[in-house]
Structure 1
């Protein structure tokens, strides 16, 4: 299964790059010129630490989608079928990692699909796409 990972020891929370990875995600993947609408967010806590908000493809959201719009693709990445999504946002409320985003102009939410655009844009090589075993399905 493909998963986006970030090494926070290499990341300096946007102090040099101004979140180039977020900007590339927004413009190349979602076709919007607004890094706030990216599927990846890096937060600086202001005390020399920070964290990333991203989808680790755990798949827990798949079981709560009443429209069955969330499915794993052949690479193990959880994808949203826009034709099936009804915009109930159960996935947003359920995701403990807060990985789902919402564009006010769209019905369906969106999230990281481990495409790798941000990996190429990160000036510190803090992001990478890795292959990991698919986790067991969680029963809710």
Structure 2
């Protein structure tokens, strides 16, 4: 199974480069408080200089919630959204336990992490990585 993972959350500097790289890749724009366009979230905590990173773990809850069948798992175990099949009901957004499925107000369908690695490459602290487990991927497609 291929998915985005966190290597060292304590190394996060809250620079939000990962969020902006994701937003730029999917929407050609910056992530802002007004419009959340990133499929990765970095949030402040009550502890100074400690941040909480939330990523898609490819759990499939969005797929189960999608009555249109627009979200399916590929051979690598990544849940992909087929925008042509999406009816924009928003059930996948509600079903995501991590709140990392996003939808721009001016777009017809939501976006989810596809484990592309753009955020990984953007992170100056090497906080993120793409985890690939062939055994889990084989189970997912069986």
Give the TM bin, normalised by the shorter chain.
0.7 to 0.9
Higher normalized helix content (fraction of residues): 2
- What CA RMSD, in Å, does the superposition of the two structures yield over aligned residues? 1.9
Q: Give, in angstroms, the shift of residue 112 of structure 1.
A: 1.1
Aligned with residue 26 of structure 1, among 20, 23, 33: 23
1:22 is displaced (CA, Å) by 1.1
- Flag structure 1 segments of 5+ consecutive residues without an equivalent: none
1:96 CA displacement: 1.2
Structure 2: which 5+ residue stretches go unaligned?
A: none
Q: Could you report, residue by residue, the CA deviation over 1:117-138 in whole angstroms, capped at 9, with x for unpaired residues?
A: 010110110000001324978x
Secondary structure of the corresponding residue to residue 24 of structure 2? helix
Equivalent residues of 1:44, 1:50 under 8 A apart: yes
**Whole-angstrom CA distance in 1 between matches of 2:27 and 2:138:** 27
Equivalent residue, structure 1, for 2:94: 93
Q: Describe the superposition over 1:17-44 as per-residue Cα deviations: whole angstroms up to 9, x where unpaired.
A: x211111111133322335311111111
Whole-angstrom CA distance in 1 between matches of 2:116 and 2:27: 12
Are 2:2 and 1:2 aligned? Answer: yes
Runs of 4+ in 1 over 6 A off after TM superposition: none
